[in-house]
A = this chain, B = another copy of it.
Amino acid sequence: METKRNKMKMMTLDQMKDQHIGEIGTEERNKYEFDLRLDILGEMIKSVRKERHLTQEQLGELIGVQKSQISKLEKSAKNVTIETILKVFRALEANIKFSVEMNDSEFKVA
């Protein structure tokens, strides 16, 4: 029996944004920075679920909800509670991390 060992995979929002829009600094990227942040969590859920080779229904069973809830989460996770997010990622055996970055705009062009 082949032991399949997946290395730790760190996938960030930024990586997914790179795929979808462009790299940091591009105008396209800045334009959608905030709005996409609201949607990207759902895509992260979907991405990890597929990585785990699970259907929405299977993931739903892991959590104890119907597949329609998974579908809704994946389509838009912007108005979802932290607890729900954590519940999903825990079922997917993935850790989600929050990190805060303080940014001061020295250039206050008014």
Contacts and interface: CB of A to CB of B under 8 A. Distances in A.
Interface string A89-110: 1100111111111111110000
Contact of A38 (B12, B83, B89, B100): B83
A51 to B, nearest CB: 6
A10 B12 CA distance: 15
The number of chain A residues touching the other chain, given as a range, is 35 or more
A70 interface: no
Contacts of A86: 34, 37-38
Interface of A: 3, 5-6, 8-14, 34, 37-38, 40-41, 44, 48, 51, 77-83, 85-86, 89-90, 93-106
